[in-house]
Amino acid sequence: MLGMLHLDEEAPVAQPETLDVRQLIPRDRHRLIFETYGKLKPGESFVLVNDHDPKPLYYQFEAEHTGEFSWNYLEQGPVTWQVQIGRTADAYS
Span 28-86, pLDDT tens digits: 999 999 999 999 999 999 999 999 999 999 999 999 999 999 999 999 999 999 999 99
The predicted structure's pLDDT at residue 1: 43
Residue ranges and CATH numbers for the domains of the chain are 15-87 (3.30.110.40)
Is the pLDDT assigned to residue 3 strictly greater than 90? no
Q: pTM, whole model, 2 decimals?
A: 0.81
Let me know the angle formed at the C-alpha of 80 by 79 and 82, rounded to the nearest 5 degrees: 160
Among residues 13, 29, 74, 25, which one has the least CA distance to residue 37?
29
Is the pLDDT assigned to residue 6 strictly greater than 50? no
